[in-house]
Amino acid sequence: MKTSLIATAVTAVFVSGIAAAGSYGEEKTARDIEAQISASTPEFSQLDADGNGALTATEAQQSPELSSNWKEYDKNEDGQLNRAEFSAFEKTNLEERAKQYEKGADEAEDRIDNAN
């Protein structure tokens, strides 16, 4: 549920930049952007190779973002990520991606303004 709300919020941020991106021939819909994020952010079940309900550092290596920030998300320092810890990673990852897209949209809007 939280992930759905976050994804919806992220999509809303992206929609604001779609018009600017479209001006440069890079027209993307909110669904295109959401699909791109979903495709690049693995689901917990995809990473949990042994299906035990926890991710090991080895399993997390499939996601460079998760693997490189492992200690930040392994809050209880048990060497595994449970679903709650993984949800914190997903939230942070989506927020960071939203900021990147928003920055790109702002830059595109600035280029449009400067061209006129």
- Region 107-113: mean pLDDT is 77
> Taking 80 as the threshold, does the pLDDT of residue 77 lie above it?
yes
Task: Identify the pLDDT of residue 29.
Answer: 66
pLDDT tens figures, 11-47: 444 444 444 444 444 556 666 666 665 555 678 899 9
pLDDT band at 106 (very low <50, low <70, confident <90, very high): confident
pLDDT band at 59 (very low <50, low <70, confident <90, very high): very high
Task: Identify the pLDDT of residue 61.
Answer: 94
Q: Give the number of domains in the chain.
A: 1
* Three state DSSP letters for the chain: CHHHHHHHHHHHHHHHHHHHHHCCCCCCCHHHHHHHHHHHCCCHHHHCCCCCCCEEHHHHCCCHHHHHCHHHHCCCCCCEECHHHHHHHHHHHHHHHHHHHHHHHHHHHHHHHHHC
Q: For the domain that residue 84 is a member of, what is the CATH number?
A: 1.10.238
What does pTM read for this prediction?
Answer: 0.56
Q: Which residues constitute the domain of residue 45?
A: 2-115
101: tokens are 């897209």
